[in-house]
């Protein structure tokens, strides 16, 4: 549920436009940008995972597919808590797309929606 946008189905109503690492002075953030089509028009949804530690990254794209000519689709987005000794309570995430899958820890998550038509502002949800 996103403020000003309502319920959004990221698996069936969106595509992944970009996965990017944002390197800061003390941490690395992960940005996942989705293109959305909704009754209200088109928009970009950006999920920003703060202070990430990636511990698993697997390619998923078949070798005969060129990613420059299409969009990745979301196959999994899951939040979990680590219960292993020494890691108890750390917030973990699993993100799967048709391009790659990754598992990582993050200390925060925020979501921002920007309309593409510029007609109405939409707030931040989390």
More confident residue, 124 or 91: 91
How confident is the model over 56-86, as pLDDT tens digits? 999 877 666 666 666 788 899 999 999 989 8
Q: What residue ranges do the domains of the chain occupy?
A: 14-120
- Per residue in 100-123, pLDDT (tens digit) is 899 999 999 998 888 876 544 444
pLDDT tops 80 at residue 55: yes
Rounded Cα distance, 19 and 57, in Å = 12
Looking at residue 39, its pLDDT comes to 67
Query: For residues 13 and 16, what is the distance between their CA atoms, to the nearest angstrom?
Result: 11
- pTM of the predicted protein model: 0.79
pLDDT 10s digits, 18-53: 889 999 888 999 999 998 876 667 888 899 999 999
Measured distance CA(115)–CA(47) in Å, rounded: 15
């Amino acid at each position: 549920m996103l403020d000003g946008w309502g319920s959004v189905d990221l698996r069936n109503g969106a595509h992944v436009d970009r996965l990017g690492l944002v390197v800061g002075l003390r941490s690395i953030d992960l940005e996942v940008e989705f293109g959305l089509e909704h009754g209200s028009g088109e928009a970009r949804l950006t999920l920003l995972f703060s202070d990430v530690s990636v511990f698993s990254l697997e390619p998923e794209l078949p070798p005969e597919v060129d990613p420059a000519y299409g969009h990745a689709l979301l196959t999994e987005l899951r939040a979990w808590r680590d219960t292993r000794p020494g890691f108890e309570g750390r917030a973990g995430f699993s993100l799967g797309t048709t391009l790659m899958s990754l598992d990582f820890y993050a200390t925060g998550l925020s979501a921002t929606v920007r309309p593409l038509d510029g007609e109405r502002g939409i707030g931040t949800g989390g």
